[in-house]
Amino acid sequence: MQELPFHRLLIGLDLTSSDSNLLNYIDHVLPYIPATSIHFVHVYPSLLTDDSKEELEGKMTKAMHDLVEQHLTIDDVELHYSIHEGSPSEEILKTASSHKADLIFIMNRVGLKGSALLQDLANKSNASLWMVPEGYDHFQFTKFYIPLQFNAHNAHTLRLAYGLDEADKGYNLFVCEHLYEVPSGYHYSGKSLEEYKSILEEQRQHDFHRFVEDNNLGALGLTCNVHSVDGMSTAESIYAQSRKMGADLILISARGRSNVSSFLLGSVTNELVLMDPVAPMILVKNPKGNMGLWQAIQEI
């Protein structure tokens, strides 16, 4: 299995109590990924203060150092810290680009708080995005939930998931699922709803086996459940299915559209980012895929 492509990490901190949960989770993750450098970043709005900007940012940098020393166990990893004033999404995107980050860790807040930041990072960065629910206070790699559409992006995500599995000695349960929607005009086919679903599911299983063969995934011993969304959106179904199985990690394949623009995620992925989180989720970007928005701008 390929080595995990997570060497240069970026961790967004907001210098609130939420950082403790995020860092505690990351502390459990770090033994499983080959990180060589970590860049911690905090972005603050313009503040009215008696301190100079240099003094203010010095205090914030010290607070970041203290948090990292308290919550992370790090050996042989290069650490960087930066403080920026302005737009969180803009400054994090710039820092991720200059740091050449492979992976961004960020807090996924309940409700719509922070959703604009998550959507910007998801759509405009070429780094994978690992989102940890606000207040999430436990860690385990036991059950992975991986929705599939049977494309090359899914193949990359599956290899990454199995890389995590191997790092964890291979004791994890993988649930791969393909979710489909019955077209509204199915009744014109002369089939009942159950007959139509049966035909579709047989076709999707055939597509899955061809996907496994075409991407040389046979050694993984994969199986795939096929389900109708039954009136829900695909994003709602993903969350319902992952909650039902008690998933502790959801892996979503995020793909780009062109090599000179930002990643443009599908409506399903964008909807997932907006929904209240049920478990940590990775939006997996292929490092050999598209460049990010800031990289594209810099190369014009």
> Mean pLDDT of all residues in the chain?
87
| Structural domain includes residue 1 | no
**How many angstroms separate the CA atoms of 105 and 26, rounded?**
8
Taken in order 147, 152, 156, 159, the sign of the CA dihedral is: positive
Quick one: pLDDT at residue 138? 82
Quick one: pLDDT at residue 46? 82
Quick one: pLDDT at residue 30? 94
| Structural domain includes residue 3 | no
Q: How far is CA 55 from the centre of its chain?
A: 35
| Structural domain includes residue 2 | no
Q: Do the beta carbons of residue 109 and residue 134 sit within 8 Å?
A: yes
Beta strands in 113-182 (DSSP E): 128-133, 143-147, 173-180
56 has a pLDDT exceeding 60: yes
Quick one: pLDDT at residue 257? 39
What would the two tokens of residue 95 be?
């820092």
114 has a pLDDT exceeding 90: no
Where does the pLDDT of residue 48 fall: very low under 50, low under 70, confident under 90, or very high at 90 and above? Answer: low
**How many angstroms separate the CA atoms of 92 and 80, rounded?**
14
pLDDT tens-digit series, residues 128-178? 999 999 988 888 888 999 999 999 899 999 999 999 988 887 778 899 999
Quick one: pLDDT at residue 264? 40
Taken in order 182, 185, 186, 192, the sign of the CA dihedral is: positive
Can you give the residue range of the structural domain that contains 293?
8-299
pLDDT tens-digit series, residues 172-185? 889 999 999 998 88
pLDDT over 90 for what percent of the chain? 58
Quick one: pLDDT at residue 112? 65
Q: In residues, how long is the chain?
A: 300
**How many angstroms separate the CA atoms of 169 and 180, rounded?**
33
**How many angstroms separate the CA atoms of 25 and 101, rounded?**
19
**DSSP assignment string, 193-217:** HHHHHHHHHHHHHHHHHHHHHHTT-
Quick one: pLDDT at residue 145? 96
Average pLDDT over residues 9-32: 94
Whichever domain contains 88, its CATH number is 3.40.50.12370
| DSSP 3-state of 114 | coil
What would the two tokens of residue 133 be?
């629910």
pLDDT tens-digit series, residues 184-213? 888 888 999 999 999 999 999 999 999 999
| Structural domain includes residue 19 | yes
| Structural domain includes residue 39 | yes
13 has a pLDDT exceeding 80: yes
Considering only 11-20, 39-48, 288-297, which range has the smallest mean pLDDT? 288-297
| 209-222: b (≥16 Cβ within 10 Å) or e | eebbeebebeebeb
**How many angstroms separate the CA atoms of 270 and 165, rounded?**
27
Strands across the sheet containing 37-44:
78-85, 37-44, 8-12, 103-108, 128-133, 281-284, 249-253, 143-147, 173-180, 225-228
Total domains in the chain come to 1
| Structural domain includes residue 84 | yes
Q: How far is CA 217 from the centre of its chain?
A: 22
| Structural domain includes residue 286 | yes
Quick one: pLDDT at residue 300? 34
pLDDT tens-digit series, residues 225-281? 999 998 899 999 999 999 999 999 999 998 643 333 333 456 787 888 888 888 999
| Structural domain includes residue 163 | yes
88 has a pLDDT exceeding 50: yes
Quick one: pLDDT at residue 297? 42
Question: Who's near 139: CB < 8 A, 6+ residues apart?
Answer: 24, 25, 28, 29, 248
**How many angstroms separate the CA atoms of 137 and 172, rounded?**
20
85 has a pLDDT exceeding 70: yes
